[in-house]
Amino acid sequence: MGTLTKRELVVKISNETGLVQHQVFDVVQRTLDHITDALAQGDTVELRNFGILEVKLTKPRVGRNPNQPGSSFVIPARATVKFKSGKIMRQKVAKLSAVLKRETPAK
């Protein structure tokens, strides 16, 4: 298993559609920019059958440095992006989990 990069995504879409890679890159980048802007405004982004991206506020919590026992500090609350996969994605990934279980040697 590898990593799918934005560049590889652009090349795949370009080959499938016949569009010039520069045009595909522009569309992909603008899509990602709009998603980022919406999340930065606190909006939820829902992409049907893919998933939902939403901004959540984490609670402040106490952190500890394992190299300095006894010392602790407060990690402040912050906004993070949470992803919840859509139904079709969950189904496709569930098929992969069965394959990975068979390939993983028992310990």
The pLDDT score that the predictor gives to residue 95 is 87
Question: What domains are defined for the chain?
Answer: 6-103 (4.10.520.10)
| Tens digits of residue pLDDT in 53-84 | 999 999 999 988 888 888 888 899 999 999 99
Q: Can you give the pTM of this predicted structure?
A: 0.77
CA gap 27, 33 in Å, rounded = 10
Per-residue pLDDT at 105 exceeds 80: no
Q: What is the pLDDT of residue 31?
A: 97
Q: Which residues pair with 45 in a beta bridge?
A: 53
